Amino acid sequence: MAHRILLIDDDDRLSRMLVRYLGNAGFDVVGRLDARRGLEALRAGSYDAVILDVMLPDLDGLEVCRRARAESDVPILMLTARGADTDRIVGLELGADDYLAKPFNPRELLARLRAVLRRRDGTRENTVLRFGRIEIDPAARHVRVDGAVRVLTSHQFDLLYELARCAGRVVSRASLLERVRGSDALERSVDLHVSRIRAAIEKDPKDPRHLLTIRGAGYMFAREPREAGER
């Protein structure tokens, strides 16, 4: 069955081109030209991913991302004609899974979309990882703490799962991005996602016991949670 993609972009010419291009690549693409209709389509249908433009006529795409993320963990790939790092960081902080600046090569968009969907479809190994009160289930793409499901975006789940697979070993930011994203995304975007992951899984996100920062080296998921106050 073809993956169903929601495209929200007010550039009618670009949208029609992407609908044809991605359709020829085997995707079922639904296009909407403004934020209101895009959000309505997202709420009414089931989609495997959303391609979302930042510059929309009726509502900022970043606000659309925030609203979409509050209701769904569907992967979101954002497009922008603004190249500022700030826009990319805000988008990632709001829960976007990837970011692509306009103008772009449609082949790069296709490659990034496929990468997001591969992660979403759980093509990685499906071993459930357990660390005390934390359980990470890649097949269901759920994280449970004391039996309760905690909400993470698709990209945040991948970051956590990759770190947990390497439990006890330090993973650099650059290496982590390469493993889970496969692109030249900003290394500092990892810090933003890690803060969200800590908020979901740690008793005290400001004093983490599982997901540790190793200064000057990267991050490490501790096999045994460190004691409070231990550094």
CATH number at residue 188: 1.10.10.10
pLDDT at 202 over 50: yes
What was the pLDDT predicted at 226? 60
Judge whether 43 lies within some domain.
Answer: yes
Q: Which residues pair with 52 in a beta bridge?
A: 8, 78
Segment among 38-42, 124-128, 147-151 with least mean pLDDT: 124-128
Last residue of a domain, one of 120, 152, 170: 120
What was the pLDDT predicted at 87? 67
What was the pLDDT predicted at 82? 64
pLDDT at 125 over 60: no
What was the pLDDT predicted at 74? 86
Say if residue 27 is in the same domain as residue 103. Answer: yes
What was the pLDDT predicted at 110? 93
The rounded mean pLDDT for the chain is 84
What was the pLDDT predicted at 176? 79
Say if residue 71 is in the same domain as residue 43. Answer: yes
pLDDT at 183 over 50: no
What was the pLDDT predicted at 153? 83
CATH code of the domain in which 89 resides: 3.40.50.2300
pLDDT at 27 over 70: yes
Say if residue 26 is in the same domain as residue 103. Answer: yes
Last residue of a domain, one of 90, 120, 150: 120
Say if residue 149 is in the same domain as residue 114. Answer: no
What was the pLDDT predicted at 101? 85
Say if residue 73 is in the same domain as residue 139. Answer: no
Confidence of residue 145 (pLDDT cuts 50, 70, 90): very high
Q: Which domain holds residue 174?
A: 129-221
Last residue of a domain, one of 70, 94, 120: 120
* Higher-scoring residue by pLDDT: 180, 200: 200
What was the pLDDT predicted at 199? 94
Say if residue 139 is in the same domain as residue 110. Answer: no
**Section 184-192 average pLDDT:** 67
What was the pLDDT predicted at 175? 75
What was the pLDDT predicted at 123? 43
pLDDT at 58 over 70: yes
